[in-house]
Amino acid sequence: MVEKSHTAGLWPSIYEPLRNFGARVADWLAPASDASSTEDAYRITMELPGVEEKDIDISVNSGVVSVKGEKTAEREEKGETWFFSERQYGAFSRSFRLPEDADDGKVEAHLKDGVLTITVPKRAAESPEAKKVQIRRG
């Protein structure tokens, strides 16, 4: 006869908070972003305070805009009898699928005051031209 341990059911519950820890850390490091559309373009804005332009990589591939980078933030405070230092480091990555009418060959990006703005113009709507059809005799 095999005896069931009283602690066997306890282990899964102890590890449950850690199960999705990696995904939660990735969400925390992922910058806040907004996507919007105007009549002429699509616009993606991302909050990247303290991130330098050299630490941001933007690429477009198969209709997807990907933004990757590295956050590095340091803060130090000193007093007469105390010292406080805090550092935050981590890579982030966000991807955005573009609509079919986006012109992914003309993507522009600007970084100002910690806000990255990516602008993707819309292609001009193609109006189908009427074609003359010849009638053949016979």
Q: Does residue 16 belong to any structural domain of this protein? A: no
Q: Does residue 60 belong to any structural domain of this protein? A: yes
Q: Does residue 132 belong to any structural domain of this protein? A: no
Between CA 39 and CA 37 the distance in angstroms is 7
Encode pLDDT of 90-123 as tens digits. Answer: 788 899 999 999 999 999 999 999 999 999 999 9
Provide the domain limits for residue 57. Answer: 32-121
pTM equals 0.63
Q: Does residue 42 belong to any structural domain of this protein? A: yes
Q: Count of CB atoms within 10 A of residue 81's CB?
A: 5
Mean of pLDDT values over 34-55? 92
Between CA 62 and CA 107 the distance in angstroms is 13
Name beta bridge partners: 43. Answer: 36, 119
Q: Does residue 72 belong to any structural domain of this protein? A: yes
Decide: 128 and 116 in contact? Cβ < 8 Å.
no
Domain total in the chain: 1
Residue 126: C-alpha distances to residues 2, 98, 104 (Å): 74, 18, 17
Q: Does residue 134 belong to any structural domain of this protein? A: no
Helix H or strand E segment including 68? strand 64-78
Q: Does residue 89 belong to any structural domain of this protein? A: yes
42: CATH: 2.60.40.790
Q: Count of CB atoms within 10 A of residue 116's CB?
A: 21
At 45 the pLDDT is 96
